[in-house]
Structure 1
Amino acid sequence: MLEKYTDLLAPIYQFLACETPESWITEATRAERLPLLLIDHMHCELKAAQSAAFLIRKYAIDDESAQALLGWLKPYEDFIYRSIGEGLFSGSKNELIGELKAKPEFAYNQDIMDKMVRLIKEELHHFEQVLDIIRAKRIEVEYVQASRYASGMIKHIRTYEPAALVDKLIIGAYIEARSCERFAKLAPHLDEDIARFYVSLLRSEARHYQDYIELAHQVAQATDRQRCDVDGRIAHFREVERELIESLDGDFKFHSGAPKVESPN
């Protein structure tokens, strides 16, 4: 199933400092873990869309456009965080195109907006796809707390611009790359319907990681290369991410580290 994705996955494995521990894969593929794995995956898709929206709002668009963007995400946030609605998202994901206007200060603002809007559309579509699988398997949708993974990297973000923006983009790249790697690791061990779905996500996740890295380099080129230090920060977060993935973690989630809890009976 994964043979034709070898070339696509090779840069992912080079970018990441480690592969997912076998202990995590063993735990994740237990039947008892499937509901939590799918529900947390669905949450992660929304968080990825929210993170991209934050970057657009903070750096790339004006206040009026920001409000339009928040309105696009609201039905998904209402469903997950406030139990509002039935989870039937009828609005077209193309409605936002043309409504947002990039700030003129930096040329890269337009590219941030374009790449992140595309990412948001895809992540929300993936959210709906995971939700369909959850419903088909009669799993109850519930809110779950985020794992330590993203917050463990966020605390390393520098406090001054444009370095902070570069760090946020690099973190986005690692989250997308790790997601791609885990989809590939999990697919051979899961039921055929979920396996096909996870394999179908590989191309978009790989492209998302590349988009984030390209944007980080664009910001550095347009501002101050030395102050941004893209390559140095990639190396820094590579080790931070590796520690989060390889160290023992008592909170099993889609992006958690090596499990230290006993497997459920």
Structure 2
Amino acid sequence: MNEALQEIHDFLPCRTPKQWIDNALANQDLMLIDHAHCEKKAASTALSLMYRYVKNTELLNKMSRLAREELRHFEQVLAIMTKRGVDYRHLTPARYAAGLRQQVRQDDPGRLVDVLIVGAIIEARSCERFAALAPFLDDRLADFYTSLLKSEARHYQDYLKLAEQAAGGPIDARVSEFLATEKELIEAPDTEFRFHSGPVSS
């Protein structure tokens, strides 16, 4: 797992700011609620790709598996929340995903390539944040977040491979454009704490 995590650290443009980790530890109920939303949205994204690109057999297989895993994670987060007396509720979304998707091209194959790159970046950042948080959490939550690292790392790799296939060649330049935006979203101060927010001033 250390090798996969190192690959993700090498891929991402920056580490999660310490201020965000402090925010997360001070808002663990909110973190869990938004984490549940993130898992549900990840499953929804995978399913939407399956509906739109019905002739791409490899995409269908990988997104089907990913959607099942993300929904299982959603159920696991809900179970933890229930044990802790945390109610699942609606939250306004972080600016993160919307900020990344602003760059997505409108027409295929560019649209598919970009959506898959965004998916890879979100999965990679989730993995990085699980690893960053785990040392500071109680044993139950630390074990759970550590258990998610392997699947999130694989999801990131699946998304990138599918993006390369959709592009029919290297995607490094396009990935770099999205990562520049991602760095800004992760490091710039935010107004609301979310799992993918920037740091929020206390």
Asked if Structure 1 and Structure 2 have the same fold, meaning a TM-score greater than 0.5 normalized by the shorter chain, the answer is yes
Do residues 247 (structure 1) and 194 (structure 2) align?
no
**Secondary structure of 2:85's partner?**
coil
Do residues 131 (structure 1) and 72 (structure 2) align?
no
**Secondary structure of 1:259's partner?**
coil
**Secondary structure of 1:139's partner?**
coil
**Secondary structure of 1:237's partner?**
helix
1:213 counterpart residue number: 160
Deviation at 1:8, TM superposition (A): 1.7
Which of 7, 23, 38 is the matching residue for 1:11? 7
Aligned amino acid, residue 207 of structure 1: R
Larger RCO (alpha carbons 8 Å, 6+ apart): 2
Do residues 22 (structure 1) and 18 (structure 2) align?
yes
Instruction: Give the Cα separation in 2 of the matches to 1:142 and 1:207.
Output: 29
**Are the equivalent residues in 1 in contact too, given 2:33–2:89 (CA < 8 A)?**
yes
Deviation at 1:143, TM superposition (A): 1.1
Which of 141, 149, 153 is the matching residue for 1:202? 149
| RMSD over aligned Cα atoms | 0.9
Do residues 186 (structure 1) and 133 (structure 2) align?
yes
1:42 counterpart residue number: 36
Instruction: Give the Cα separation in 2 of the matches to 1:58 and 1:148.
Output: 25
Aligned amino acid, residue 158 of structure 2: D
**Secondary structure of 1:29's partner?**
helix
TM-score, structure 2 as length reference: 0.98
**Are the equivalent residues in 1 in contact too, given 2:19–2:199 (CA < 8 A)?**
yes
2:45 counterpart residue number: 51
Deviation at 1:169, TM superposition (A): 0.2
Instruction: Give the Cα separation in 2 of the matches to 1:23 and 1:53.
Output: 34
Instruction: Give the Cα separation in 1 of the matches to 2:133 and 2:28.
Output: 11
Deviation at 1:140, TM superposition (A): 1.6
Percent of aligned positions with the same letter in both sequences?
50
Deviation at 1:215, TM superposition (A): 0.2
Deviation at 1:220, TM superposition (A): 1.6
Instruction: Give the Cα separation in 2 of the matches to 1:8 and 1:155.
Output: 28
Do residues 151 (structure 1) and 85 (structure 2) align?
no
Aligned amino acid, residue 79 of structure 2: D
Aligned amino acid, residue 242 of structure 1: K
Deviation at 1:158, TM superposition (A): 1.2
Aligned amino acid, residue 46 of structure 1: K
**Are the equivalent residues in 1 in contact too, given 2:23–2:199 (CA < 8 A)?**
no
Q: After the TM superposition, which of the residue ranges 137-146 and 42-51 deviates more from structure 2?
A: 137-146
Deviation at 1:232, TM superposition (A): 1.1
**Secondary structure of 1:160's partner?**
coil
Deviation at 1:40, TM superposition (A): 0.3
Q: After the TM superposition, which of the residue ranges 200-209 and 151-160 deviates more from structure 2?
A: 151-160
Instruction: Give the Cα separation in 2 of the matches to 1:11 and 1:42.
Output: 25
1:115 counterpart residue number: 62
Deviation at 1:9, TM superposition (A): 0.3
Deviations 1:137-179 (A, max 9, x none): 0112211111100000001111221011100000000000000
Instruction: Give the Cα separation in 2 of the matches to 1:209 and 1:253.
Output: 20
Aligned amino acid, residue 43 of structure 1: H
Which of 164, 168, 172 is the matching residue for 2:111? 164
Deviation at 1:230, TM superposition (A): 1.6
Deviation at 1:42, TM superposition (A): 0.3
Q: Which runs of 5+ in 1 are unaligned?
A: 61-102, 104-108
Greater C-alpha radius of gyration = 1
**Are the equivalent residues in 1 in contact too, given 2:14–2:183 (CA < 8 A)?**
yes
Aligned amino acid, residue 52 of structure 2: K
